[in-house]
Amino acid sequence: MSELKLLYVEDDKSNREDLEKILDGDKIGEYTISMESVDTFENAIDIIESKAYHIIILDLFKGNPQQGGKEEGLDILTKIQQNFFVPVIFYSGNTKHVQDLKSQIVGVVTKGDEGVEGLKTEIGRLVQSNLPFLKDRVHEYLESEFKTYFWDIIHNQRDKFKPEANDFSLGYLMLRKFSTSLSKEKISQVIKNGESKDKVHPMEFYLYPTDVKLEFESGEILQKGKDVYVILTPSCDFIEDLGTKRVRSVGKVLLAKTSLLSQNDSYIKYTTSKTESNKNRLMRLIESRKGDRFFFLPQTPFIENRIIDFQDKEMVDYGKLKDFYRIAKLDSPFAESMISSFIRYYNRIGYPDIDSDLIIRNL
């Protein structure tokens, strides 16, 4: 059974001790709670910085809010955001001022309404997301990679890597090896997401958010108004190298317009009549197996379920791309698969059907 390390920041002694008695040693899924507390907001950041907690439970007010108590919990959240990452749950009798802070990594539980059970539910939600343990698992994996690389490779090959021949950075080689080792399968193992190895999660389709300081690329998803597009122009056409005086070759950019899955005929037919044939037709569309004309973009928090139709294309001037919002980019191999479908669709060659009856009669 793994340990779930919580820190409770609460200046009221009875509240602090009561919650510790209830939660310390309790179980959330496969985890046993190890709970500590701090009695002053002033000392909270030093303690958070000194230990690797998985979740911080924050009271909101210092003192009694009815007697002018200050929202010191918000200051703690700000300092956490400025210095490190750890999920936070506000646990207070008055949470109306922080309800709008609710997110994947900030929980809000009202003592009077939801109580300890509500707090346990919120802790359970964070545990299921795996986010509180992500740093631990990445650190464990990095430690293992360091150990293997430096002891099993560099030290064991000390005839090649001699101490006096310090003419390159072993740190560079190590970190490059580490970055290339993080395949999709390895990432799934590190975060222990429990997903099927035969299927991909929608999040795996994308790189998000787009680094707007970088050049546009093929497979990038753009939005203008309510319309969403995908770049089809090859990435190499966007490259501009001032050192070699290579000029960006793209003048106009080819975009494929997307539409909502809910507007597609296959979706409408299935939701109208959930027959097996309608379900299979919709599944082929979602799995991008309904011919090369269509390519499916799965829904995530930053994009709805959408369909790329390669018949619906637009050309825009490169300079006009600044008017588009850069949503995300298709990750490998989905970007390459999308482009391959586009090329196959427009390179296809039709020919008349052979007279198969004639062939069979002459067999």
How far apart are alpha carbons 249 and 52 in whole angstroms?
50
Per residue in 109-130, pLDDT tens?
A: 999 888 899 999 999 999 999 9
Least confident of 56-65, 96-105, 244-253, 265-274: 244-253
Per residue in 4-63, pLDDT tens?
A: 999 999 988 999 999 999 999 999 989 999 999 998 888 899 999 889 999 999 998 886
Q: What is the pLDDT of residue 65?
A: 63
Residue 158 scores a pLDDT above 80: yes
Residue with tokens 């809010």, as numbered in its chain: 65
Please state the rounded mean pLDDT for residues 142-147: 93
Residue 156's alpha-carbon distances to 159, 161, 171, in angstroms, are 8, 9, 17
The DSSP H or E segment spanning 141 is: helix 134-147
Please state the rounded mean pLDDT for residues 267-280: 95
Tally Cβ neighbours within 10 Å of residue 59: 24
Per residue in 208-241, pLDDT tens?
A: 999 999 999 999 999 999 999 999 999 988 887 6
Could you tell me the pLDDT band of residue 198, with boundaries at 50, 70 and 90? low
Sheet holding 55-58, edge to edge: 27-28, 31-38, 2-9, 55-58, 88-92, 106-110
Which residues have a Cβ under 8 Å from the Cβ of 321 and sit 6 or more positions away?
A: 216, 222, 253
b/e map 82-102, b = 16+ CB within 10 Å: eeeebbbbbbbeebebbeeee
* CATH fold for the domain made of 2-129: Rossmann fold (3.40.50)
Contact 307, 294 (CB under 8 A): yes
Q: What is the pLDDT of residue 348?
A: 75
Q: Which ranges in the chain are annotated with CATH 3.40.50.2300?
A: 2-129
Per residue in 77-108, pLDDT tens?
A: 999 999 999 999 999 988 888 999 999 999 99
* CATH fold for the domain made of 203-347: SH3 type barrels. (2.30.30)
Please state the rounded mean pLDDT for residues 276-284: 94
Q: Which ranges in the chain are annotated with CATH 2.30.30.110?
A: 203-347
Percent of the chain topping pLDDT 90: 63
- Length of the chain, in residues: 363
